[in-house]
Amino acid sequence: MTETTARPTTLGALRAAGYRSRTVKEEIRDNLKRLLRDGSPLFPGILGYERTVIPGVVNALLAHHDFILLGLRGQAKTRILRSLTELLDPEIPVLRGAPLNDDPFDPISPAGRQLVTDAGDDAPIEWMEREARYQEKLATPDVSISDLLGDIDPIKAATQRLTYADPEVIHYGIIPRTNRGIFAINELPDLAPRIQVGLLNILEERDLQIRGFPIRIPLDLLLVFSANPEDYTHRGSIITPLKDRISSQILTHYPTEVETAMLITQQEAWRQRDGDDRIVVPEISRRLVEEISVAARSSDLVDSASGVSARVAISALELLVSNLERRALTTADDPVYPRIADLHMVLPALTGKLEMVYEGEQQGVEMVANRIIGQALLTLFRRNFPAVDRAAGSGGEDDVGPYSQILAWFADGHDLTLSDEQSFAEYEAELRRVPGLLELVEDRAGSAEGRALLAELVLEGLHQHSKLGRNDLDRTISYKEMVKFQLVRSTLNRNYSDEN
């Protein structure tokens, strides 16, 4: 940077450069207007909110509103709040040594005012980058007023022989130290009611009061919040006066289309593993991962008030890729495609994130997760293959249509076992044992690995329609004729009962 373009370093140089101070809300509004006129993206990486949430946020900012994002877990609330920094100027001047990011032209702290009084135009300034102007606090029951606003420092008062009414004895909290910036509180209802009361004056009057002493410090802030609707009834509530002072409440939501959810997961999930290009996750597998989340959100066994986070699909896809990576390291397969048998290894992404209702807790979270995966597989099957005739018997003479040859083979007493540990050659050879199975998917995929995955989806679809029985044991899946499967299961149940 040349001498002529160097940033001013003193108050006099700043004034000579023609710098004009703005409040943080004016600054955000001006920058937002410029982006809207230019057609520039406002919140890069935030998908699915183009016609709902983002217009609401834009309108709130144009109106100089503090606002709250209200929505279930995993709806990008915190990410939106953190993205607000992009609407700030790249950097602003502050008085060097002042504790509250003081505007050089209008300092608010006693130390800042004294600095300008003593040094005049020689008062030193420094430049603060936009990232340093955003602070956030996760609301927890143990957060105190002194954490947020500040408190009297008795040691400072004693050593400097000051009274408690002197502004110099204040130890400022995180909110005043964010002056001229954006302050966010996540999970606002978790904040104790008496602490919420302490925010009222900042929201309404924009000033700071500590310990009841007559000290008023006007703050320049954009205050933003996030909350989960569940919190209003389960863990806490937002007090009515505080809700009244938050000018805009904006509702977030889960993606309304599977395609949008797939883009979000693809953007967020860690899929590139050491540059190993053998691992291939086709579109149908990525769609299946999203259908699992969709099925969980509509399940009667999952607590809809808690929601099913987008992190479920992200974690599930990462675990699926990890299982493919493990198989790539232990076999000579190239490429390595997903299998239905791999889905057992994504259960940890579900079991730790799904909140069960009472009936779900009775059945057990793993059983519920398996049912949800089954529902997602059924949805995918129906999307890609002809309908299954429920009235026809399993492999009987009345069976007609594209699946009759497959069902007849199982009805003759054959069974099929697939595993996530088989090499592709073993896996494909097992599928080829079923007459007509690979032929059914011949024109639906461009590779042998893709056809094998679709063939396995056919078997799973027939199982979900109660045409084939399925038994899972030690990461293997066995398909059998339904009647035989039911007899085997009944025998096992009787033996278990006799032993007990």
Supply the pLDDT for residue 233: 45
Same domain, 364 and 432: no
Whether residues 418 and 472 fall in one domain: yes
Domain end among 202, 220, 251? 251
Total domain count, the chain: 3
Residue after which a domain boundary falls, among 350, 384, 418? 384
CA separation for the pair 25, 223 (Å, rounded):
10
On whether residue 2 sits in a domain, the answer given is: no
Residues 68, 226 contacting (CB under 8 angstroms): yes
Same domain flag for 243 and 260: no
Q: Which helix (H) or strand (E) holds 286?
A: helix 283-298
Q: For residue 144, is it within any domain?
A: yes
Q: 43 and 161: one domain? A: yes
pTM value is 0.86
- Identify whether residues 399 and 466 lie together within a single domain: yes
* Together in a domain, 63 and 148: yes
Distance CA 128, CA 47 (A): 30
Is residue 5 in some structural domain? no
CB proximity list for 243: less than 8 A, separation 6 or greater: 249
3-state SS class at 224: strand
278/194 same-domain check: no
How many beta carbons lie within 10 A of that of residue 136, not counting itself?
16
- Asked whether residue 3 is assigned to any structural domain, the reply reads no
Residue 426 lies in a domain: yes
How far is the CA of 417 from the CAs of 66, 356, 449, 473, 475, in angstroms? Answer: 59, 32, 17, 10, 10
In a domain, 4, yes or no: no
- Of 267, 318, 314, 272, nearest to 290 by C-alpha is 314
Residues 408 and 481 in one domain: yes
Q: Which of 251, 267, 289 is the last residue of a domain?
A: 251
264 with 406, same domain?
A: no
Dist. CA 149–CA 138, nearest whole Å: 15
Judge if 99 and 55 occupy the same domain. Answer: yes
pLDDT digits (tens), the chain, 500 positions: 333 458 899 999 999 999 999 999 999 999 999 999 999 999 999 999 999 999 999 999 999 999 999 999 999 999 999 999 999 999 999 999 999 999 999 999 888 999 999 999 999 999 999 999 999 999 988 898 889 988 777 777 667 776 666 667 777 889 999 999 999 999 999 898 888 988 888 888 777 766 666 567 889 999 999 998 865 544 568 999 999 999 999 999 999 999 999 999 999 999 888 877 899 999 999 999 999 999 999 999 998 888 899 999 999 999 999 999 999 999 989 999 999 999 999 999 999 899 898 888 888 999 999 999 999 999 999 999 999 875 544 444 445 678 999 999 999 999 999 999 999 999 999 999 999 999 999 988 889 999 999 999 999 999 999 999 999 887 899 999 876 545 444 544 555 455 55
- Domain assignment present for residue 467? The answer is yes
Partners of residue 137 on adjacent β-strands: 185
167 token code pair: 């502004």
Give the structural domain span for 491.
Answer: 394-500
**In sequence order, what are the residues at sequence separation of 6 or more whose Cβ sits closer than 8 angstroms to the Cβ of residue 271?**
279, 281, 317, 318, 321
For residues 30 and 178, membership in a common domain is answered with: yes
Cα-atom radius of gyration of the chain, to the nearest Å? 31
242 class by beta-carbon count within 10 Å (0-12 exposed, 13-18 middle, 19+ buried): buried
Residue 67 lies in a domain: yes
Segments in 190-277 forming alpha helices (H): 193-197, 200-205, 231-234, 240-245, 258-268
> Which CATH number characterizes residue 80's domain?
3.40.50.300
The token pair at 197 is 């009361």
Paired residues of 222 in beta bridges: 182
- Residues 175 and 183 sit within 8 Å (Cβ to Cβ): yes
- DSSP 3-state of 463: helix
Same domain (yes/no): 379, 407: no
157, 205 in Cβ contact below 8 A? Answer: no
d(CA 375, CA 373): 5
